Structure 1
Amino acid sequence: MSVFDVKTGSSPVILAFPHTGTDVPGDVWAKLNDNGKILADTDWHIHNLYGDLLPGATMVRALFHRYVIDANRDPSGQSLYPGQNTTGLVPDTDFDGKAIWQDGLKPDEAEIKRRYELFHVPYHQALKAEVERVKAQHGVAVLYDCHSIRSHISFLFDGTLPDFNIGTNNGTTCDPRIEQAVVDVCEHADGFTSVLNGRFRGGWTTRHYSNRDNNIHTIQMELAQASHLARETPPFDYDAARAAPLRSHLKSILHNIEQIAFDLARGN
């Protein structure tokens, strides 16, 4: 079973996909209950949504499902959002707070460590290598972390989630020009809603890889799945017509980020 896929590009922009994978090893699959086997918390179709929007972008995608181990969680187990409901390095529940493991088969510490070494570590080794390669090539790297989530999840947030959820950990993970360029596109996207550093301020990837002093910038985009899926329930079909205007805005975002990255590389 492959752990990750890398498409090497020539742009200073790297797209990371920690949650689009649906591969589950047989021994893990056998421990999931019927609810867990729905894999409801997948970032459905996001790698296809972004796939050709910035042809030169490097893409690093985890192929394993987040129920195996979550590639966007702190290995220490520290919560990204203290005091708020969330899921852990290996989740006990889905985003609705419902159990995903059969009774008595929830992974113990030894099993979590095994999965960490088999899946989490190799994915991040690959991502780190691409960040270092791009930084060496351009003098700058921008890691754009790609996510999506259902629009209504009362266990995690109240009401309806905005379409664009921009995360920079309260402005700390990237140059202000990158943040502003993304905000400008989202705020002027007709028919779409957006928020900066709302419920989702950027996960472990965004916070871990950011190194502005070394010209490595990170930003997370969490998309509400209603913006590009036919339905947010099984089989979670992609809706190309619904996604078309979203893709247009995402393309603008990525091209604007790339131009700012070139400016940063020149010291502007």
Structure 2
Amino acid sequence: MQSPPDSTFDPPFVLTEPMRQSVPVVFNAPHAGRVYPPNFLASSRLDPLSLRRSEDAHVDLLFGPIVRFGAPLMSARFPRAYLDVNREPYELDPRMFDGPLPAYANSRSMRVAGGLGTIPRIVADGHDIYRARLPVAAALQRIEHLYKPYHRVLRHLATRTLRQFGTVVLVDCHSMPSTSLPRHEGQTADIVLGDRYGTSCDGRVTDLLEALFSALGYTVARNKPYAGGFITEHYGAPATFRHAIQVEINRGLYMDERTLEPNEGWATLAEHLTQVFGEFVARVATDSMPRSIAAE
């Protein structure tokens, strides 16, 4: 049996639940992890702040208050630069490893080619993470002891919610660098909603979120440049009453993107997120979206 890659990640995630789940919504922050083990830092050619460029910094804190509306919130403790659960389990770049990868590894995906596989080769701004090649066993250990337990619990939350309410809406919570956003009519998007171009959730879910953010003055875009990753694609199946939507928040709204420290916009954004998602979960709970007859 393989030993855990690092006891720092015990547990590998934080699950915050209400006393009783009262709405068919689950929130997830897969890239908010900010625990960097010493052996990872020692193996990297980058300083800690540079490694954190890949983080969705503070997103778990921004979404934390929504638990009081009756929905669970799951967030990773390990950083995205160490392991990315918004990928297939074995999207691995053979250039990173000392030795052959297993035959079942997907080494030809576009995400691997871009350096952003399950074990990323680069941080978000394109700089290489590691000083040297990694043992293949190191990648497999991270997947076995971090990736798989994370998805096991996320699937359990989604399945439990579906059984209880007859439908489930998974909201995947992210943030995006302001520099990654194209300008349209002189503005960059404040919020990007990703629903895999209408395939991962009922259109009413996306319409509702867009309307709620727009009513507060936010500029909202859909699917460009972020349509949703592995989680949105694989947890969203509207035909079986499973809906998944990715919410990307412009980091410039709430933090200094150089230092990653909260800025003067933090309090306003936090208040607005609580307002938007308080209304959202209430509307989803009473909406006429089709529900499974298996609901209790």
The 8 Å contact of residues 67 and 73 in structure 2, kept in 1 or not, is answered as no
**Deviates further, 245-254 or 59-68:** 245-254
Mapped to 1, the partners of 2:123 and 2:291 lie a distance apart of 45
* CA deviations over 1:134-183 (Å, ceiling 9, x no partner): 11221111100000122114xxx656852101000001111111110011
How far apart, CA to CA, are the structure 1 residues paired with 2:127 and 2:64? 32
Match of 1:260 in 2: 284
1:146 is aligned, of 153, 161, 173, to 173
Residues matched between the structures, number: 259
Query: Structure 1 residues 260 and 84 mapped into 2: Cα distance closer, same or farther (>3 Å)?
Result: farther
Return closer, same or farther for 1:246/1:37 CA change in 2, 3 Å cut-off: closer
Matches within 5 A, 1:1-268: 1=8, 2=10, 3-9=12-18, 10=21, 11-35=23-47, 38=50, 39-55=52-68, 56-77=70-91, 85=114, 87-102=116-131, 104=132, 106-153=133-180, 158=182, 161-190=188-217, 192-229=218-255, 231-234=256-259, 236-239=260-263, 241-258=264-281, 259-264=283-288, 267=291
2:97 match = none
- Look up the SS of the partner of 1:152 in the other structure: helix
- Tell me the secondary structure at the aligned position of residue 184 of structure 1: helix
SS in 2 for 1:53: helix
Deviations 1:161-209 (A, max 9, x none): 521010000011111111100111233332x322011110011111111
Give, as a single letter, the amino acid of the residue that structure 2 aligns with 1:88: G
Q: Which amino acid aligns with 2:286?
A: F
Q: Deviations over 1:34-90 (max 9, x none)?
A: 346632211111111111135111011111011211011122426886799562211
The alignment's TM-score, normalised by the length of structure 2, stands at 0.79
Letter in 2 for 1:65: P
Q: Distance in 1 between matches of 2:198 and 2:109?
A: 16
Distance in 2 (alpha carbons) for counterparts of 1:207 and 1:83: 17
Looking at structure 2, the residues matched to 247 and 264 of structure 1 have their Cα atoms a distance apart, in angstroms, of 29
Matched to 2:266, the amino acid is A
Residue identity over aligned pairs, in percent, reads 26
Output the CA distance in 2 between the equivalents of 1:97 and 1:83: 13
Task: Tell me which amino acid in the other structure corresponds to 1:263.
Answer: D
Is the CA contact (8 Å cut-off) linking 2:62 and 2:273 kept in structure 1?
Answer: no
Q: Could you say if the C-alpha distance between residues 242 and 170 of structure 1 is closer, same or farther in structure 2, counting changes exceeding 3 Å?
A: same
Are the structure 2 counterparts of residues 80 and 252 from structure 1 closer, same or farther at C-alpha, using a change threshold of 3 Å?
farther
Give the Å deviation of 1:112: 1.6
Contact 1:152 1:161 in 2 (8 A): no
The answer (yes or no) to whether the contact 2:174–2:249 under 8 Å persists in 1 is yes
State TM-score, norm by structure 1.
0.86
Distance 1:118 1:24, change over 3 A: farther
- Stretches of structure 2 that go unaligned for 5 or more consecutive residues are 1-7, 92-105
Secondary structure of 1:255 counterpart: helix
